[in-house]
Amino acid sequence: MRVMVIVKANQESESGVLPSREILTEMGKFNEELVKAGVMLAGEGLHSSAKGVRVKFGGGKSTVTDGPFTETKELIAGFWLWQVKSIEEAIEWIRRSPFQKGNEEIEIRRVFEAEDFGANLTPELRAQEAQQRERVGAKH
Q: How many CB atoms lie within 10 A of CB 45?
A: 14
- 58 has pLDDT over 80: yes
Q: End-to-end alpha-carbon separation of the chain, Å?
A: 22
The pLDDT of residue 67 is above 80: yes
The residues pairing with 43 across neighbouring beta strands, listed in sequence order, are: 80
Nearest CA among 78, 23, 20, 75 for reference residue 50 = 75
DSSP 66: E
- Cα–Cα nearest to 49, from 75, 74, 31, 12: 75
pLDDT > 80? residue 140 = no
- Each residue's pLDDT tens digit, 120-132: 999 999 899 889 9
3-state SS record for 19-51: CCHHHHHHHHHHHHHHHHCCCEEEEEECCCHHH
Residue 102 has pLDDT above 80, yes or no: no
Confidence band, pLDDT 50/70/90 cuts, at residue 108: very high
Contacts 24+ apart (CB under 8 A), 51-58: none
Domain at 2-139, CATH class:
alpha beta
Q: Where are the domains of the chain?
A: 2-139
Query: What's phi and psi for 111, nearest 5 deg?
Result: -95, 140
Looking at residue 137, its amino acid is G
Q: Using 50, 70 and 90 to split pLDDT, how confident is the model at 46?
A: very high
Query: How far apart are alpha carbons 39 and 84 in whole angstroms?
Result: 6
